[in-house]
Chains A and B, each alone.
Chain A
Amino acid sequence: MSPDKVYEVEPVTRLEGHGGLRLVMSEDGTTVKDVQFNITTTRFFEKLCEGRFAEHVPRITSRICGICPVPHHIAATKSVEDAWDVEIPRPAYKLRQLFMNAKQYSSHLLHFFALAAPDFLYGPFAPAGKRNVVQIIKDLPEVGTMALKMMDFGQNICAAVGGKAIGPIAGIVGGMRKPLTAELRDGLIAQLDEQLGYVKATVDLAKKVVTDYWDVIANLAVTETYYCGVAKEENGELVHDIYDGKLVFVSPEGEKMVYDEENYMEAIGEKIPSHSYATHTYYRPKGYPDGIYRTNSLAMLNACDRMATPLAEEARKEMFTKCVGEDGKVIHNTFAYHWARVIEIVGAFETMAKYLKDPEIISTDIKTLDVQPKAGRGVGMVDAPRGTLIYDMKTDSEGICRKLNLLVATNHNIAGIEKSVKHAAKQIFEEDILSKIKLPDPMLK
């Protein structure tokens, strides 16, 4: 047997976690033999929550992710509420929707401008010292300023509603701890027009990227998988909703399967790979690896029948028409994730505006007194910026967390990422696709 050539990317950068990529090629460099996405750290959050006051778990697990602490905080709170049969007041529901969408807005913008845009603005082959957001801020200060002002707006709402934007604290079993003041609300409403202008400029920039890189989007790493997302059932339609919905799986052919959140185990299996501390989740009825699925923005758009707001819905239709035609049901283009993310930015903005203008958003009726611990099991699900997030908690009669199962957003994507990277590696090294697709001149040099 001939020796293999091994290429390692250590670490994978612009990643909100810790991982390496390992590519094994045949000695003559013509065949891709294996691709591994090695997640090199795990922190054992499920175990360390055992024995804690259940109502404190949302303040512990918000430290799982510093970019998306809000969905963790909220999903954990929902799981305890489900276990203890607690109903929250309507204004608390609205505050949480505002909170979740503000986080979606700032997180997606961070992803688009800080993590993704450098590849498109400087081109994928620019030197490492150039290909980053620090350089974008230096070279394109007006775009940098806009991006920073948008993230600032989202993070300010997270802080106003959540008490703290990173490691938030405002959610409590039974509702929210602190009402939004009219003064803060008015200050935020006053910025909506400016933000809408920025949102439209971001869409224009994204469309330019889509046009410039269409050959890449249409041909590279177009990987067929299942998809997992969250959507709310309304009059027989599945409507995009990141806080309140059902678990939706989509087959590679576009068929949708809907599950109640407490039945998530029927849909999701977890395989322990030998080469990654992150588990590989799969669509249980199909088994592993056939049931490998992806989650996050593109999956959310595949899972819903329509967006909840008008501008976002218009953008979703445009994307489907361009990628798979008007009657297309499911998009597999990995690079379309960025486009889908921008559509979700539009949706998050419209949803924030809707709730900010709702008079009930400043109500002080935000916490029910009817909260009693009991032995039980509860499931809380939201869609985090990086994908579907599920909390499954068992508590004892004194309200202590006894067992916790987490299916974390990025975790759902690990197997899918590995599959799509493998696909791309074969295209690049075995089929020499880079010489056949058209790359634009970089916007910045």
Chain B
Amino acid sequence: MAKKIAMMQLASCWGCHQSLLDAHLTLLHVLPELSFVYWPAVVDFKTKDLENLPDGSVDVGFLEGFCRTEHDIENAKLLRRKCKIVVAIGSCAVLGGVPGMANLFTLEELEARKFMDEEFVDPGSVVPTENVPKNLDAIPDLHTVVKIDVDLPGCPPKTGNIIGLIASVLGQVDNKIDTSKSMCEVCPLGTCLLDEGKLCYGPITAVCDPIGKLASGHPVLGEFGLTPNIHAANAEKLFSKITAQPLSKEEVRNTVEALMMMLGGTPLGFLAKKADAVRRIRLDPDSLTMKLANSTEIVDFKLDGYPEMLNHIIGAAMGNLKSNPLYDDSAQTVCTSCERNLKDKEVVRYIRDYEGIPDQDTCFLLQGYVCMGPLTAPGCGATCPRANSPCLGCYGPASNVDDYVSKATSYFPSICKDTPENITAFFKDTAGLFGRFCIPTSKLGHKMADTKSEES
């Protein structure tokens, strides 16, 4: 059976749809697996058709764009009602997007420019109100409007990201996963990786075909979720391994990947889940309470319906990451996949994009161009730097960055040798430069109408 898919288009530019269509020949393989029950950009079903479907009957809903009007809010809620899984696709849905910069102005200022500026429009014009939905005062964080299951940022997300996500999310709704046993029960290897001193989460991972990765000697990393029927003996070995000593760099990376997948993330490393446990280890370590297990201090982690040892293992993995200095290094950014030379980290002074001709092989920051790469989540493969253009941050905050705008505002001055006066004079537009894709989800909030005069 083809999976039922709905694509809801809030206020947006169509770029995310174009990025999906840019899969071109790959579509010939993907489309037969999908049945689009709603996709106004491409298919003629109307809102009523979606309303008439039973609640929860659509496998995956993609929510694209942002909420500009009351009508967008209704549409987002309609999609949520009809779908089992809701994916926020693109930076507008995930972060607020480029048009989110509208929140730097009040609605009155926005409407006055568009509808009443007589330098450009006919005199005497007023804001349209007939058969058009009312604009919201500000663009909200979509996560406060409806529950989002998966975030896929990017402006637009790369075609490969979208196809990968579709494959992965379809896997999640596809019920081939067998939680009645652990991967250890079907392990084709002669020698247990744990016996060789290697890290493998097989004892607590559910079973799914294919197991090709395992057959090649690659450790199991929670790919198919958790099983309550753990392999008891091997689970003991895994727990001892994690609590014995700090994990190596590769083990840290594998553990982050395993935790993401076991705790409800997706197999795509670049997907940022809001406030998930793995990110909390880095962003807010003090919020995690600790407990003792076998005389070792581990994170107090409780998943109902699973054996205590499984909770111990996850708690130990998180505890190991919490105190492990290598975990910081594993926070990946756009720089991770950027091939430019980084000789030293000193920035002499900042220059504007139109100045000079950027060298194609040297880090933009070293040349003085503002590049958001160091603070930005990976996933794009450093597309812009490879096109000799600084990163603008469209994939949103890296896993070690909490509020993007605040972090950038402290980061860029701190790495520059220039005088504070010159730096301040350069950054005339911090909100527009650092909040290009994320004002509605930033702690900065939005510009409010000045009500002081009314109060006094």
List B contacts of A229 (CB < 8 A): none
CB distance from B431 to the nearest CB of A (A): 8
* Given known A10-B46, A163-B384, contact A400–B428 (CB-CB < 8 A): yes
**Chain A residues positioned under 8 Å from B104 (CB to CB):** 48, 51
Asked if B31 and A114 make an inter-chain contact with CB atoms under 8 angstroms apart, the answer reads no
Q: Given A46-B113, A169-B387, check contact A149 B352 (CB 8 Å).
A: no
Cross-interface CB contact of B122 among A128, A166, A271, cutoff 8 Å: A271
User: Are A47 and B102 within 8 A (Cβ)?
Assistant: yes
Could you tell me if A274 and B129 are in contact, using CB atoms closer than 8 angstroms?
Answer: yes
In the complex the two chains form, is B27's CB within 8 Å of A137's CB? yes
A152-B25 CB under 8 A given contacts A40-B132, A51-B429, A60-B98: yes
Query: Which chain A residues border B36 with CB–CB below 8 Å?
Result: 132, 134
Q: Does B290 touch A at the CB level, under 8 Å?
A: no
A35 to chain B, nearest CB (A): 12
B204 at the interface (CB under 8 A from A): no
Among listed B6-14, B221-229, B291-299, interface-contacting one:
B6-14
Contact mask B118-139 → A, CB, 8 Å, 1/0?
A: 0111100111111111010000
Query: What are 13 A-B contacts defined by CB distance under 8 Å?
Result: A11-B40, A15-B41, A20-B131, A43-B99, A44-B99, A133-B42, A151-B24, A164-B384, A169-B384, A177-B389, A269-B122, A272-B126, A369-B356
6 smallest beta-carbon distances between A and B, as pairs: A163-B387, A66-B15, A272-B125, A128-B44, A66-B14, A169-B389
For residue B233, CB closer than 8 A to chain A, the reply is no
Contacts of A69 in B (CB 8 A): 13, 15
Instruction: Say whether chain A's binding surface is mostly helix, strand, loop, or mixed.
Output: loop
- Closest B residue to A107 by beta carbon equals B18
Contact with B along A139-150 (1 / 0, CB 8 A): 001001100110
A14 and B42: CB pair below 8 A?
A: yes
**Interchain CB contact under 8 A, B389 and A163:** yes
User: In the assembled complex, which residues on chain A have CB atoms less than 8 Å from the CB atom of B353?
Assistant: 53, 55-56, 172-173
A46, A52, A133, A166 — which one has the most chain B CB atoms within 10 A of its CB?
A166
Q: Which of B74-118 contact A (CB under 8 A)?
A: 97-99, 101-102, 104-105, 109-111, 113-116
Whether the pair B15, A167 counts as a contact (CB closer than 8 A) is yes
Q: Chain B residues near A170: list those with CB within 8 A.
A: 387-389
B433 interface hit (Cβ, 8 Å):
yes
Q: How far is the CB of A193 from chain B (nearest CB, A)?
A: 19
Q: Which of A10, A144, A164, A165 contacts B47 (CB 8 A)?
A: A10
In the complex, the answer to whether A166 meets B436 with C-beta atoms within 8 Å is no
Closest to A65 in B: B13
Within 8 A of A (CB), among B16-37: 16-19, 21-22, 24-25, 27-28, 31-32, 34, 36
| B79, chain A: closest CB distance, angstroms | 13
Number of A interface residues, CB 8 Å? Answer: 87
Q: How far is the CA of A52 from the CA of B436 in the complex (A)?
A: 10
Give the residue of A15, A40, A398 whose beta carbon is less than 8 angstroms from that of B69.
A40
Q: Could you tell me the distance in whole angstroms from the C-beta of A317 to the nearest C-beta in chain B?
A: 33
Q: Bound state CA distance, A63 and B18, in angstroms?
A: 12
Rounded to whole angstroms, the CA-CA distance of A71 and B395 in the bound complex is 24
CB-based nearest B residue for A36: B131
Q: Given the complex, which residues of B lie within 8 Å of A55, measured CB to CB?
A: 352-354
Chain A residues with CB under 8 A of B119: 405
Residue of B nearest to A72 (CB): B13
**Residue contact B121 to A369, C-beta cutoff 8 Å:** no
A225 at the interface (CB under 8 A from B): no
Q: List the A residue with the shortest CB-CB distance to B17.
A: A66
Cβ-neighbour of A163 out of B31, B46, B101, B386 (below 8 A): B386
- B372 to chain A: closest CB distance in Å? 12
Residues on B with C-beta less than 8 A from A429 are none
Give complex CA distance A372, B155 in Å: 30
Bound Cα distance A155, B383 (Å): 15
Q: Cβ of B113 and Cβ of A44 under 8 Å apart? A: yes
Question: With A11-B47, A60-B436 in contact, is A164–B383 under 8 Å at CB?
Answer: yes
Tell me, in angstroms, the Cα distance from A129 to B121 when the chains sit together.
41
Encoded as 1 (CB less than 8 Å from any B CB) or 0, chain A from 36 to 80 comes to 101111111111100111011001100111110100000000000
Looking at A275-283, A290-298, A432-440, the stretch in contact with chain B turns out to be: A275-283
Bound-state CA distance A16–B15 (Å) is 10
Q: Any chain A CB within 8 A of the CB of B196?
A: no
Chain A residues in 8 Å Cβ range of B428: 53, 398, 400
B interface residues with partner A (beta carbon < 8 Å): 9, 11-19, 21-22, 24-25, 27-28, 31-32, 34, 36, 40-49, 68-69, 71-72, 97-99, 101-102, 104-105, 109-111, 113-116, 119-122, 125-133, 135, 155-156, 352-358, 360, 383-384, 386-389, 392, 394, 428-429, 432-433, 436
A residues sitting closer than 8 Å to B (CB atoms) are 9-11, 13-18, 20, 22, 36, 38-48, 51-53, 55-56, 59-60, 63-67, 69, 110, 114, 128-129, 131-134, 137-138, 141, 144-145, 148-149, 151-152, 155, 162-167, 169-170, 172-174, 177-178, 265, 269-277, 279, 288, 367, 369, 371, 373, 398-400, 405
**Residues of the B chain whose Cβ atoms lie less than 8 Å from the Cβ of A399:** 352, 354
Provide the residues of chain A in CB contact with B131, threshold 8 Å: 20, 22, 36, 38, 275
Complex contacts, B155 vs chain A, CB 8 Å: 63, 167
Q: How far is the CB of A424 from chain B (nearest CB, A)?
A: 17
Asked whether A167 lies within 8 Å of B156 as measured between CB atoms, the reply is yes
Q: Are A48 and B105 in contact (CB under 8 A)?
A: yes
Contact of A42 among B27, B68, B116, B383 (CB under 8 A): B68
Q: Evaluate contact between A16 and B14: CB separation under 8 angstroms.
A: yes
**CB < 8 Å: which of A13, A148, A274, A367 contacts B44?**
A13
| Residues of B contacting A40 in the complex (Cβ-Cβ under 8 angstroms) | 69, 71, 132-133
Minimum distance in angstroms from A82 CB to a CB of chain B = 14
Which chain A residue has the least Cβ–Cβ distance from B45?
A: A128
In the complex, what distance in Å separates the CA atom of A148 from the CA atom of B15?
17
Interchain CA distance A66-B135 in the complex, whole Å: 22
Which residue from A18, A47, A132 sits with its C-beta under 8 Å from B110?
A47
From A9, A128, A134, B31 is in contact (CB under 8 Å) with A134
Knowing A138-B32, A167-B156, say if A405 contacts B120 (CB, 8 Å). Answer: yes
Q: Which residues of B contact A59 (CB under 8 A)?
A: 392
Q: How far is the CA of A39 from the CA of B394 in the complex (A)?
A: 27
Beyond A69-B15, A166-B156, is A137–B31 a contact (Cβ under 8 Å)? Answer: yes
What would 20 more interface pairs be, CB under 8 Å, given A13-B40, A51-B104? A13-B41, A13-B43, A15-B40, A38-B131, A39-B132, A43-B102, A45-B99, A53-B433, A66-B12, A132-B36, A155-B22, A155-B24, A166-B156, A170-B387, A178-B388, A265-B120, A269-B122, A276-B132, A277-B132, A288-B122
Bound Cα distance A65, B71 (Å): 21
Contact residues in A for B32 (Cβ distance below 8 Å): 138
In angstroms, Cα B155 to Cα A276, docked, is 27
Give Cα A277–Cα B135 distance, bound, in whole angstroms: 10
Could you tell me the distance between the alpha carbons of A248 and B195 in the complex, rounded to whole angstroms?
78
Chain B residues closer than 8 Å to A36, beta-carbon distance: 130-131
A167 in contact with B114 given A51-B432, A274-B129 (CB within 8 Å): no
Complex CA gap A131/B42 in Å reads 9
